[in-house]
Chains A and B, each alone.
Chain A
Amino acid sequence: GENVEQHPSTLSVQEGDSAVIKCTYSDSASNYFPWYKQELGKRPQLIIDIRSNVGEKKDQRIAVTLNKTAKHFSLHITETQPEDSAVYFCAASGSGYALNFGKGTSLLVTP
């Protein structure tokens, strides 16, 4: 089955700096890669996703890149703000449609 590895497990940045979270996956058939943000005590919420026919996607301060050859994808957050503090999960899915999640990255943005 699919195995998704996520790094780092914790990340602390100063407000205004950039944050990068990286994930690797094992199943070359995976074709959908979403990123979820989960605030304490809340549900995971989709913030951006990318499909295998695209190498990069951007939405305001958030961008995701995908390297299918290397089987890795990354989340980039620029100009971080304290409200970006949360746990971020990457995931991958293929023909089975079920999402396989990474273990999460706890991001702390300090003022």
Chain B
Amino acid sequence: DAGVIQSPRHEVTEMGQEVTLRCKPISGHNSLFWYRQTMMRGLELLIYFNNNVPIDDSGMPEDRFSAKMPNASFSTLKIQPSEPRDSAVYFCASSHIGLNNEQFFGPGTRLTVL
């Protein structure tokens, strides 16, 4: 199993541009989580999906952030327009709720907004 796959691994963009982060969860997992990590705020949950349905998006900071999961093997996190304070490492994680709660993290996307 390749584990959770994220792309791109690094993204540098200018303020105001649209950014799309992508995630492929582990095959067979039914839940997907998006986290943001910064030095100041640590690891924060942004949103999570169960069976492709958004369950809790209370961590999404603003309307500039949106996430979709069109099928069981793909999810996107979009920021439009991006701002310098969005600079962080964004992790995607997946798990199989019902079997156990173990979450496996992807390698992350390091986003820099200039």
Contacts and interface: CB of A to CB of B under 8 A. Distances in A.
B104 A32 contact: no
Contacts of A101: 42-44
A61 interface: no
Interface string A84-95: 000001000100
Interface residues of B, number: 22
Given A34-B102, A97-B101, A104 B42 contact: yes
Contact of A99 (B33, B55, B106, B108): B33
Contacts of B42: 89, 101-104
A96 interface: yes
Interface of B: 31, 33, 42-45, 48, 50, 55-56, 58, 91, 95, 97, 101-108
Given A43-B91, A43-B105, A43-B108, 10 more contacts: A34-B102, A42-B107, A43-B106, A97-B31, A97-B95, A97-B97, A98-B33, A99-B33, A99-B101, A104-B42
